[in-house]
Structure 1
Amino acid sequence: MDSVGDSLDRALEQAFTRPIPKSAPAQMRYLVKQLKGTRRAAELLGVSQRTVERYVTGQLKHPRRELAARLEREVRHRWQPQIRARAKQKAASTDGLVFATRARFGFTAAPGTTDDARIRDITQALPPQWAERLFQARDAGATENQLLQIAAEGLGQMYFRADDTRAQGLDVEFTDVEQIEISL
């Protein structure tokens, strides 16, 4: 299952203007520069300070698989923060985002009426206010379920209720997510 948080991160990475450093020594040098020291980089990665220094100088070049994954994740998380912030601002103020998903959707409407849930493929443009809510919740540390709830509200309003021009009072249930792809 894809997560909304990971999809938001991938969407922001599409705005990058330069590729992320490929080699482990280059990634380590970038991380040390961002964290302002080898000690903080070592603590973050769970290795010794001397190991970080060896990567920085080029004595070590091929990290273990776990360390390589942690190193790439931390560099990717910190790469081009101004570009990332600009892309967030643009999505939250003017452009919005496109939310594509394959999930189970069910509905509850007026008392006594319901529609059984079924798997649907939906691609829907969400206006800037929904992008802003998703990014703010993500930055505030919201759980995946909270992000899914915000997405369900946005899809309910824009897709199922046609921007609240029909089917007022329709509540959307968003479960069994198979895939999520968000683009800016």
Structure 2
Amino acid sequence: MGKIGDGLEKADQQAFTRRPPKSTQARVKFLVKQLKTTRAVAELLGVSQRSVERYVTGQRKSPPAPITERIDAEVRRRWQPVVRQRARRQAATATGITVETRAQFGYTAAPGSTDDARTRLITQHLPPDYAARLFDAQVAGATERQLEGIVAEGLQEIYFKDRGRRAQGLTVDFTGIDYIELDY
């Protein structure tokens, strides 16, 4: 995933009502319950089926760091799907999404204005329709560039054009993302 995809994943995790399991054994048991077989979990994590069985029984408690990171990422990706959907539905229909980013913003505007890209730190709340478009695009398998385009359009309309009250012919280029955080 890219920066926006990761930002959406972190925003999802902020909606959790309970913490994911902490021990390796509990995490792997959760994955086995989700995927139904130890073989499927082994393929997902890139380890042997026997290793997964050892994690489940508690014979092996400390996997190598890369395996621990994969286990953690997969558990978080699958944890509380109903809570995630509820939070996304709320953002897409009522509350919207807040974007905090430090990135390069360039412009295509009226003659006499500078269109050189420069780094800006922007925190802006976007309406629910932009959140819905962002979620729909992510589910449809949009590329990182397409997700950036949706965020750029939202920032262009809400932040730079002030909902159409100024800068009518302005087009914003959103590049060089240093960081981006999303919240809903």
Asked if Structure 1 and Structure 2 have the same fold, meaning a TM-score greater than 0.5 normalized by the shorter chain, the answer is yes
Distance 1:165 1:112 in 2: 20
Distance 1:5 1:63 in 2: 27
Indicate the residue corresponding to 2:101 in structure 1: 101
Indicate the residue corresponding to 2:73 in structure 1: 73
Q: Secondary structure at the match of 2:54?
A: helix
Distance 2:171 2:50 in 1: 56
> TM-score with structure 2 length normalisation?
0.95
Provide the alpha-carbon RMSD of the alignment.
Answer: 1.4
Paired AA for residue 134 in structure 2: L
Moved over 4 A (4+): 111-114
Q: Secondary structure at the match of 2:117?
A: strand
- List alignment gaps of at least 5 residues for structure 1: none
Pair 1:51-2:44 in alignment: no
1:154-165 aligned at under 5 Å gives the runs 154-165=154-165
- Alpha-carbon deviation of 1:110? 3.8
Pair 1:6-2:6 in alignment: yes
Q: Secondary structure at the match of 1:172?
A: strand
Distance 1:66 1:116 in 2: 42
Paired AA for residue 151 in structure 2: A
Q: Name the % identity.
A: 57
> TM-score with structure 1 length normalisation?
0.95
Q: Secondary structure at the match of 2:60?
A: coil
Paired AA for residue 9 in structure 1: E
Count of residues in Structure 1 that have an aligned counterpart in Structure 2: 183
- List alignment gaps of at least 5 residues for structure 2: none
- Alpha-carbon deviation of 1:179? 1.1
Indicate the residue corresponding to 1:88 in structure 2: 88
1:1-184 aligned at under 5 Å gives the runs 3-110=3-110, 114-184=114-184
Distance 2:180 2:64 in 1: 30
Q: Secondary structure at the match of 1:181?
A: strand
- Alpha-carbon deviation of 1:63? 0.5
Distance 1:118 1:106 in 2: 7
Distance 2:111 2:34 in 1: 56
Mean alpha-carbon deviation: is it higher for 164-173 or for 60-69? 164-173
